Amino acid sequence: MAATSDAENTEPESAILTTSDAARFDDLINLKLNKNLSELHPIFTKIDELRKQIFFMGLKLRNSWTQAEFLTVAIGTLAIIIGAITFDGELQSGGDFLKVGIGPLGNGGLSAVSAASFFQLILSAGCWIYFLYRIWNHYPLMRGQSISLIIMWFSITIMAIAAHNGAPSFPFEFSSESLTTVLGTFVVTIFLGIVFSRAVLETRDLHVEEKYQNKDPRIMAESLYNHSLFGWIAVLIIWSFVAFLSSWAGAHFIAVRPHGSWVWQLLYIMFGSMSTFGICILLWYPQLMLGSGEIVIMSKRAREVDDMLLGDETWKEEQGKCPDCDAPSPVTRGQDGLPNLDCKVENCEGRGPINSKCPLCNEKIPSRIKCEKCGISAPAVKHLSDQEAW
């Protein structure tokens, strides 16, 4: 896949750029594919857009990732490998399937695990904890949402394990023993995926509105396109599928007794490594798009509830501005949402909502303001933003 640039003064319109040349573009709209499947049939337009956005994400990753990010992926992969292959061959041999449970004492459960395998279990858990610590350190804006993603991964794993209950060769055979668990975890996975994606999408919309506000709707549409998350959503769907394949392969390996084929173990490690890489991609790209820590990634409704809970502690009175010259005006809006003005009577220090009576002299508070800078007279409400007040 290669990219082309828009026409420049000194370059031909169809100039083809190398990957390193294309990486200098900061805007998605400036990237073009040199071959479009839509030329064969319009039905492939969405596929072309998906290819373009994934290519764009790849360019950004190549130019922004450092050794620290790749080390994080390596630690997650190491956690999977240590947990999947035992040095003494206990897991490969199938172990003693008659000894079950997690009790550390007695003849069963963890007490039946060899010392080397138990050490690997602890080491793998330590690598997972360190992996989580590193992604939270790399992507602080995504800390809250990363919890949803981790729980989603855990839910996918439970779904794959439950599907093998009573059906060791799933999906080649089926059992209704854990149908409720399978359906429940599937619903939880879909729900968490929607929550996670909506939080990122709605935060993206807020970011574009605040940072790229323009009266020209075409410029606003261009800014929104440059922050498109169509490719990111596709990566989320692909990651969910890969995470299920990894969990299925791992469950399939241990479900068959005395033990499954080494192929399933290899697939578990391969798809599991891809899953750890995918998690880093899903957390990295939204933070790269926002570019700073000025905004918290959460859904619109969560943001509204958060503002309501904070209440008076974070409320700031809105100061009016002239709609023509943006000069400060005396009108303000309090937490109740009402525009307030000073009384027009000389030497009266009363103040209240427009069109109401002054609390001191009972005179009517004016509803219009004359700007001292440009002299334009306009309704007081025009000096305030039209956003809803809580």
Tell me, what's the pLDDT at 388? Answer: 38
**How many Å apart are CA 273 and CA 279, to the nearest integer?**
10
Tell me, what's the pLDDT at 390? Answer: 26
Q: Is the peptide bond before 258 cis (omega within 30 degrees of 0)?
A: yes
77: Cβ contacts below 8 Å, ≥ 6 apart: 272, 273, 276
User: Residue type for 274, please?
Assistant: M
**How many Å apart are CA 328 and CA 57, to the nearest integer?**
43
Tell me, what's the pLDDT at 68? Answer: 87
Residue with tokens 């109740």: 336
Query: Which residue, 314, 333, 330, is CA-closest to 322?
Result: 330
Tell me, what's the pLDDT at 86? Answer: 72
Residue with tokens 């949803």: 148
Tell me, what's the pLDDT at 365? Answer: 81
**How many Å apart are CA 141 and CA 220, to the nearest integer?**
24
Other CB atoms closer than 10 Å to residue 6's CB: what's the count?
13
Tell me, what's the pLDDT at 339? Answer: 79
Residue 165 · residue 175 · CB < 8 Å = yes
Tell me, what's the pLDDT at 330? Answer: 82
**How many Å apart are CA 272 and CA 246, to the nearest integer?**
5
Tens digit of pLDDT at every position of the chain (390 positions): 444 444 333 333 323 333 333 334 467 777 777 777 777 777 877 887 888 888 888 888 888 888 888 999 999 999 888 887 777 666 665 555 556 556 555 555 566 666 777 788 888 889 999 999 988 888 877 888 888 889 999 999 888 888 877 777 777 777 777 788 888 888 988 998 888 888 888 878 777 777 777 777 787 777 777 778 888 899 999 999 999 998 888 887 777 766 657 787 888 889 989 999 999 999 888 888 776 555 666 666 665 555 555 454 445 667 788 877 878 888 887 666 677 888 888 778 788 887 788 877 888 888 788 888 787 888 877 777 654 332
Tell me, what's the pLDDT at 294? Answer: 52
Residue 371 · residue 324 · CB < 8 Å = yes
**How many Å apart are CA 371 and CA 286, to the nearest integer?**
43
What tokens does 311 get? 């209440």
Other CB atoms closer than 10 Å to residue 185's CB: what's the count?
22
> Residue 333: beta bridge partners?
318, 339
**How many Å apart are CA 50 and CA 115, to the nearest integer?**
49
Give the H or E element holding residue 297. Answer: none
Domain ranges for the chain, please list them: 3-53, 141-305, 317-383
Compute φ and ψ for 146, nearest 5 degrees: -65, -30
Tell me, what's the pLDDT at 104? Answer: 54
pTM: 0.66
C-alpha pair distances (Å), 198 with each of 82, 135, 292? 35, 21, 20
Tell the burial category of 302 from Cβ atoms under 10 Å away from its Cβ (0-12, 13-18, 19+): middle
